[in-house]
Amino acid sequence: MILKNNLKEVRQKKGLTQEELGANVGVSRQTIISIERYRYKPTLELAMKLAENLNIKIEKLFYFEQE
Amino acid sequence: MLLSKKEISILIEIVYSIVFALIFLPYFYENQEKTLILMDGLVEKIIQIIICTVIYFAIAYSILEVAFKKKETRDERDDMINSKSYKLGYLLYEFSLFIFIGYVCSKFQNKELFNLTGNLELYNSFQLTDAGIVFIVLVLLAFISVIKSLYQFYLYRTV
């Protein structure tokens, strides 16, 4: 199973840039890019911060996909 | 290829390690058969290394700060990358320490050659001076530092 996310879609829907979202949750723009490209798996703390900031349930933002 | 402030600071470290190795290591290489007390201009060389290091980093980081005025956030991704690269550096240190100890032991063991063969030339070729030890340690430090920083740079580009 691969951990995937809807971060890019949800962020764009909310009209936020990677820079703004990063600043809101206290991480760099590069970290947001890495998460959106599935290169980096965030910690539970960051995942919850992202979900809270984007006003979405964490399980809607991050989900498992069969390989 | 656009580089972030963190990536450029890693490149500054890599350049420093390579320049240090190219400029200062030949001095220690040439004098490795002497003892440290007998090395010509050792104190001057150490002072030179310290001054050059301070000037290099002061200039490099000042330029970096001017070029990237915005402060970059340090976050969990940086911690993950740092821990991975320092782990590699630590493993390399550990591995090279074993090799180094083995090398020193073999040098000491070869003193027996003189007792057995009485061949002074052979004995001298296996001599290990404190300057020789310093040279090997510096080479290892420079090499491991470059590998660690390159790996860190690679992780910043790919993770």
Q: Which helix (H) or strand (E) holds A45?
A: helix A44-53
* B:38-67 residues touching chain A, CB 8 A cutoff: none
The reply to whether residue B76 touches residue A42, judged by beta carbons under 8 angstroms, is yes
- Ordered mean pLDDT values, 10 residues apiece, chain A (67 residues): 93 95 94 95 96 95 89
Which region, left, alpha or beta, applies to residue A46 given φ > 0 means left and ψ of -120 to 50 means alpha? alpha
ipTM value for the complex = 0.87
For B73, which of A27, A40, A45 is closest by C-beta distance? Answer: A27
Look at residue B111 and tell me whether its pLDDT is greater than 70: no
Give start and end residues of each alpha helix (H) in chain B.
Answer: 5-30, 42-67, 76-109, 111-117, 120-125, 130-158
Give the mutation candidate from B77, B84, B156 for the A interface (greatest A CB count, under 10 A). B77
- Output B89 or B103, whichever has higher pLDDT: B89
Domain locations along chain B: 5-158
- Residue A1 sits at the vertex; the CA angle it makes with A8 and A48, to the nearest 5 degrees, is 45
Q: Output the pLDDT for position B125.
A: 66
Q: How many residues does chain A have?
A: 67
The reply to whether residue A31 touches residue B75, judged by beta carbons under 8 angstroms, is yes
Q: Tens digit of pLDDT for each residue in B119-153?
A: 777 666 667 778 888 888 899 999 999 999 999 99
The reply to whether residue A31 touches residue B76, judged by beta carbons under 8 angstroms, is yes
Kindly state whether B72 is in contact with chain A, defined as any CB-CB distance less than 8 angstroms: yes
Q: Output the pLDDT for position B45.
A: 87
Domain locations along chain A: 2-65
Q: Tens digit of pLDDT for each residue in B84-93?
A: 999 999 999 9
Q: Tens digit of pLDDT for each residue in B19-41?
A: 989 988 888 888 877 777 777 78
- For residue A65, list its beta bridge partners: A2
Using an 8 Å CB-CB cutoff, list chain B residues near A28: 72-75, 77-78
The answer to whether B61 touches B12, Cβ cutoff 8 Å, is yes
Q: Looking at the complex, report in whole angstroms how far the Cα of residue A12 sits from the nearest Cα belonging to chain B.
A: 22
Q: How far apart are CA A21 and CA A50, in angstroms?
A: 8
Q: Which CATH architecture has domain A2-65?
A: Orthogonal Bundle (1.10)
Largest CA distance in chain B: 68
Q: Output the pLDDT for position B126.
A: 67
Q: Output the pLDDT for position B110.
A: 67
Burial A15-39 (b: 16+ CB within 10 A, else e): ebebeebbeebebbbbbbebbbeee
Q: Looking at the complex, report in whole angstroms how far the Cα of residue A48 sits from the nearest Cα belonging to chain B.
A: 14
Q: Which sign does the torsion angle of CA B50, B54, B57, B63 carry? A: negative
Using an 8 Å CB-CB cutoff, list chain B residues near A31: 75-77
